[in-house]
Structure formats: structure tokens, C-alpha cells
Structure 1
Amino acid sequence: MKENRVQVKGCFRKNLLLFLGIMVLFCFAGAVQAAQQPPDFSRFQEVEGSNGSILRDTHSGLEWQRCPYGQSWTGSGCSGAAWRGKWDDAVRITAPGGFRLPTVDELRTLHPYNIFSGGDFEWSSSSYPYLSGAAWGLESGVTAYGKSNKGRARLVRVRQ
């Protein structure tokens, strides 16, 4: 009887390990496939009269400056040096037309699309509630960053 129980226990462990191995493989394969598929940018449309420098998110109604603060849109890319600074300075940045630093909830609407890729993380205007020296930002996901770190600013406004 004891021998039989040991055999069943060993069989269960082997099957459990096999099952977990297969699950890890499927998760990895799914992540690779998701990474290979380009994001759906069709929800972002150029705002008429902006020469492509402003994109409207048709799902949220938010309008985003295509280039980080300090750069300008050339028609095919961003040129110039992007501003990089601490959070205390970033929250004071505005631009004509009602542009301002986004809240963390507004910034979350960009993830996982991250159509504004490249370089450093981008600040939100929202402090991190669990640590006074941190604020929310977006890089590959929405994350808390120390307010003394230097990040970029991408400005947003509510649809005009």
C-alpha cells in the first residue's frame, strides 16, 4: 500500500511539473507573439490643421503633442532636443492651446499602445500616493519614479 502511494505521489509531481512547464512555454510564446504584433494605431488620428504635430485619441478624446516638450514635428519625425527635467519643473510646463502635463489616468490611456516611444520615461502630473518623493511616469508601463529623476514631458489637452 505504501509503495502504491509513493508511486502515485511521484506521478502527480511529474505531471504537475510537466503542466507547469507547458504553461510557462505558452506564456512565453504569447508574450513573444504580442511583442511581434504591431500595436493598433488606428485609434490615433492627426488633428486637422496641426500638420501632424497633434494626435487625437478617438477612444478617450484626449489630444497629445506628438513630440516631447522641446521638440517639434517635422512631418516624418521629431527634431531638436527633448526637455529632460525633474518632476517639480515638469508640472509647471504648459503650451499654447491648453496643453499641460497629463494625469496618471490620462497617461495610462497610452499603455500598451506607447505610440510615443523612445528614450526616457515621461512624467505625469500625479504624485505617487505611497511615497512623497515619487510621481507616476510612463516608459514601458506606468511606474513610480523618484521626483529628482530626470524625465521627459509629453503634453496633452482635452479635445478642442
Structure 2
Amino acid sequence: MVLNFATSKVEAERTVAEIVAAGGSAVAVQADVADEFAVARLFDTAEQTYGGIDVVVNSAGIVVHAPIAELDLADLDRVHRTNVRGTFVVDQQAARRVRPGGAIVNISSTTPKLSLPTYSAYAASKAAVDAITLILARELGERDITVNCRARGHRYRPSSTARTSRPSPGWRRCRR
């Protein structure tokens, strides 16, 4: 397993040590998922270390909470750089390199459908992840590559003045 990390080197090395202690094989590689050259090097490492790529789990993502009227556009750009561009860059390399019969899994969220206050930047980015996933699934179906997204449910507890009901938690799957 090749484990990518952006900034948490200590955590990545701890995870690698746990995998190795359990009898597995793993290496940690630092790469900004929105940097196409860093991601290409990440995929190069996976191919050189393991002889090919069968599964990619694309879980990088960040969230910034702010009402739309107050959201700093630099924060919007940062969320979309990681969550949208990062998903696209990783999926682009995965589409080129995952072997037939393999799988790509993008991590999404239920927030695009929930209209949660302060989640606009994140929800918009995860709606884009859903769209990218569905299109990539159609593009790679003939190569027998499965493309899914996993959307963890979100529990929202509105304040007494909110006009939104609490959605039920759960998992949603987008697939071909």
C-alpha cells in the first residue's frame, strides 16, 4: 500500500508501522493532491514498489465553515483546490494507471443535499466530486474498472432558531 499524506508525516509513518506490524507492506509518500506532478510521482512510486495499481482510494479533503456572505474567497479557493482539483488530478492519474478489473473510490459527503448552514464551500466541492465520479465511472466501465464514491452521512443538530430538520445519517453510494 502506498499511503499519501499532505502534512501529517508522523501519523503517516505510524500508520505504515501498524500495517507492517500486522504483516502488510506499506510506504508513505508526501504529495499535494492538487499538484499533478506530485501525484504523478506518487503513482510512479506505487507502480515501482508494487508492480502496478489495482485500487485507488481518494480521501483527501478539507472543510471551512462560514456563512456564504462571510466566506473568504481564499478559503473557497483552498477548499476547491484540494477537494475538486485534487480529486480530478488523482482520478486522472488513476484512470491512466489502474489495471483492468481495478477500482477507484472517491470520498464524498451527503452535505450537498442537506443545505447545512456554513457548509457552502464544502458542499459545492463534494457535489463536484459526485459529478466527477459518475462521469469517470462511465468512461472507465469498458475497461472493467469500477468507480464509486462513498458519502458518509452527516448528522446535523439545528439550533432552536434553525428552520432545517435533522437528516438521517447513512451512507450513499454513487456508481456506474
- Asked whether the two chains share a fold, i.e. TM above 0.5, the reply is no
Structure (1 or 2) with the larger CA radius of gyration: 1
What TM-score does the superposition give when structure 2 sets the normalisation length? 0.25
* TM-score using structure 1 length: 0.27
